[in-house]
Amino acid sequence: MTEAKIEADKELPIIRTTRDFEGTAEQLFRAHTDPELFQQWCGPDSTSVRIDHWDARDGGSWRYAAVRGDEEYRFRGCFHEVRPDRIVQTFTFEGAPDGVALETMTFEELGGGRTRLHIQSLVDSFEGRDAWLRGGMQTGVDEGYTKLDGLLARGAL
Amino acid sequence: MTEAKIEADKELPIIRTTRDFEGTAEQLFRAHTDPELFQQWCGPDSTSVRIDHWDARDGGSWRYAAVRGDEEYRFRGCFHEVRPDRIVQTFTFEGAPDGVALETMTFEELGGGRTRLHIQSLVDSFEGRDAWLRGGMQTGVDEGYTKLDGLLARGAL
């Protein structure tokens, strides 16, 4: 399984995630904006995604639940900007409703049909940032992106 | 004219603005969510506000122009959360569309019908933060809040 690079910025309360894909920027954009596609890959293998609301446009918003048996983990936010090379959105885990991240996703074409995904997650404290990192993002992120690799490989995008 | 306190955080890319008002938290909440009220006080005396879009709810969005003669300065964002004691929204000046701030506004009741407004504006670099500060926010902020003082004094809220 390819590991995404997940790093804490040295000077800013930011987590930076980077991951390369065998797909175009346009395909990655669709994977992040089309709810039918998004729910097929997002999150760890042990959960499934149920989209409760999805309106991927400037000023739209989103809400989904990651479901594992009887447990649900709900997430919500608004789409500040949705454009082909960049998505800016807010992100809250509803279990900690006062915590809000500002996420900026960019799709960098590498040539040869490959694309590098960059995600910058900005929060308002180093403590909050480090709590996210300690929560163990790596497995869920990697399992999700591996599912996305599979969708790309079989032409589903 | 009462000066709002506008300060750069020492460790985070945040501007903190604090200002006391002779009004309740509920009145300040209305001043920031009702577009008819908002356009009467926001911004410096030399501009007027034209609301282009306004939907103050969780997952809603907003857009307005500050108009001075033939000039227009447009701003837009989405409302991540709108609740009586706290508004979280994104904020972009459309003249610099890649810059996005995450703003958290809280209304702290001081007793005696007075309320302290706190605004935390979080951006993703110290350079960006300091450019905002150098842009001279103080006059526009103070002139706007003085108009809001006037609305409160004459019972318009």
The domain of A22 spans 5-43+83-153
CB pairs under 8 A between A and B: 84
For the segment A88-104, the average pLDDT, to the nearest whole number, is 96
B29 lies in a domain? yes
B62 lies in a domain? no
pLDDT at B111: 95
Contact (CB<8Å) A100/B81? yes
For the segment A60-82, the average pLDDT, to the nearest whole number, is 97
pLDDT at B151: 98
A139 lies in a domain? yes
Number of domains in chain A: 1
Q: What is the CATH number of the domain that holds B87?
A: 3.30.530.20
Chain A residues touching B80 at Cβ < 8 A:
77-78, 90, 92, 100
Q: Is A51 on the interface with B (CB under 8 A)?
A: no
CA-based nearest residue in chain B for residue A125: B12
In SS3 terms, chain B reads as CCCCEEEECCCCCEEEEEEEECCCHHHHHHHHHCHHHHHHHCCCCCCEEEEEEECCCCCEEEEEEEEECCEEEEEEEEEEEEECCEEEEEEEECCCCCCCEEEEEEEEEEECCEEEEEEEEECCCHHHHHHHHHCCHHHHHHHHHHHHHHHHHCCCC
Q: Is B90 on the interface with A (CB under 8 A)?
A: yes
pLDDT at A1: 80
pLDDT at A136: 78
pLDDT at B136: 78
User: Which among A92, A104, A124 has the least Cβ separation from residue B12?
Assistant: A124
Does A137 score more than 90 pLDDT?
A: no
B128 lies in a domain? yes
For the segment A88-102, the average pLDDT, to the nearest whole number, is 96
pLDDT at A61: 98
Spell out the per-residue pLDDT of chain B, length 157, in tens: 899 999 999 999 999 999 999 999 999 999 999 999 999 999 999 999 999 999 999 999 999 999 999 999 999 999 999 999 999 999 999 999 999 999 999 999 999 999 999 999 999 999 999 998 998 789 999 999 999 999 999 999 8
Chain B residues touching A102 at Cβ < 8 A:
90, 100, 102, 122, 124
A50 lies in a domain? no
pTM of the shown model: 0.96
Contact (CB<8Å) B104/A124? yes
A92 lies in a domain? yes
A61 lies in a domain? no
B78 lies in a domain? no
Q: Is A64 on the interface with B (CB under 8 A)?
A: no
pLDDT at A64: 98
Q: What is the pLDDT of residues A19-56, one digit of tens each?
A: 999 999 999 999 999 999 999 999 999 999 999 999 99
